[in-house]
Amino acid sequence: MTRASFAWGRCVRGTYTPSGQAREITRSRSFTKPSRVLARFALDGGDPIAANTNLSLRGFSFRLGSNGQRSDVFTQSAPVHFARTLDQMLAFLRARSPGPDGKLDWDRIEAFSVSNPETLHQADYIAAHPLPASFAGTTYWGVHAFPTTNSKGETRFIKFKVIPVGEEGRPAGDEVAPKRPDLLHDELDSRIAARDIRFSLMALLDRPGDPVMDVTIRWPDEDARDALRLGTIVVTGVEAKDARDEAGFNPANLAEGIGRPPDEMFAARCAAYAISQTIRR
């Protein structure tokens, strides 16, 4: 079965080392204990040629933890999703479906966008922030707000942000952006071979009144607010092509100490991933 979203990808392995601050946010052992990492870098869309531009969307999914205390985290290269609800997402896709003549109805698309302006937030962000020429140099966000509970029983919402380490001075955007997926693929392999891929896993901390139900908008002043470093992910090797499907990545897999986000899109994603994995197997 072909994946409609983030269909082209590369499975990798690595290690996770928690920071001393992680326990302040969550008691989840998947974030507070060292572990192996299974991860996947991906391009959005079913056509890697069309998707592979510096104005597309990239994904970074990873699994932390062991011994029944595992968490699967899904992040992407834009801090917002393109739809707030499942109905809105379906309407978005229908508006962009070709007609019987195989052509897009631009009047229909424009009318939908005017009625649903929040569905343009992701595209606007992508247009304003060209991607670097490497999966390893990309910053990734989790668009959902996760309730986390620490050892004191204190609960608050966080958003995940994955920041590349040691990327200062590397070319970005149009300067060296690869135009073919094999170049992006080769660059990733070279960086892995050189042990040159490292990320800081950050938790963006909530404030009273932050929207936790709407994945199409950011938290106020999100880039400038407090963030806590949960730990460090180091990519050390490439996994077999079928490793991802065998591993069964699913956003519903969360170790005790981190809860499921309350927004509608997260629930829909959990259901969709479970169906997709069943069909592929």
- pTM for the whole structure: 0.88
**Residue 253: inside a domain:** yes
**Residue 122: inside a domain:** yes
CATH (domain of 247) = 2.40.180.10
Of the listed ranges 19-28, 171-180, 189-198, 210-219, the least confidently predicted one is: 171-180
How large is the average pLDDT for residues 251-256?
93
Q: Tell me the pLDDT tens digit for each residue of 184-201.
A: 778 898 999 998 899 999
pLDDT of residue 81: 97
**Residue 3: inside a domain:** no
Does residue 279 register a pLDDT over 70?
A: no
pLDDT of residue 35: 97
**Residue 1: inside a domain:** no
pLDDT of residue 105: 96
**Residue 136: inside a domain:** yes
Residue type, position 65, single letter:
G
pLDDT of residue 19: 97
135 Cβ neighbours under 8 A, 6+ residues apart: 10, 41, 58, 60, 184, 187, 188
Q: How far apart are CA 17 and CA 15, in angstroms?
A: 7
Q: Tell me the pLDDT tens digit for each residue of 30-59.
A: 999 999 999 999 987 545 444 455 568 999
Total tally of structural domains belonging to the chain: 1
Task: Answer whether 201's CB lies under 8 Å from 5's CB.
Answer: no
Does residue 3 register a pLDDT over 50?
A: no
Task: Answer whether 199's CB lies under 8 Å from 232's CB.
Answer: yes
pLDDT band at 4 (very low <50, low <70, confident <90, very high): very low
The sign of the CA dihedral 141, 142, 143, 146 is negative
Could you list the residue range(s) of the whole structural domain that residue 61 is in?
Answer: 8-280
**Residue 79: inside a domain:** yes
pLDDT band at 183 (very low <50, low <70, confident <90, very high): confident
How large is the average pLDDT for residues 82-93?
95
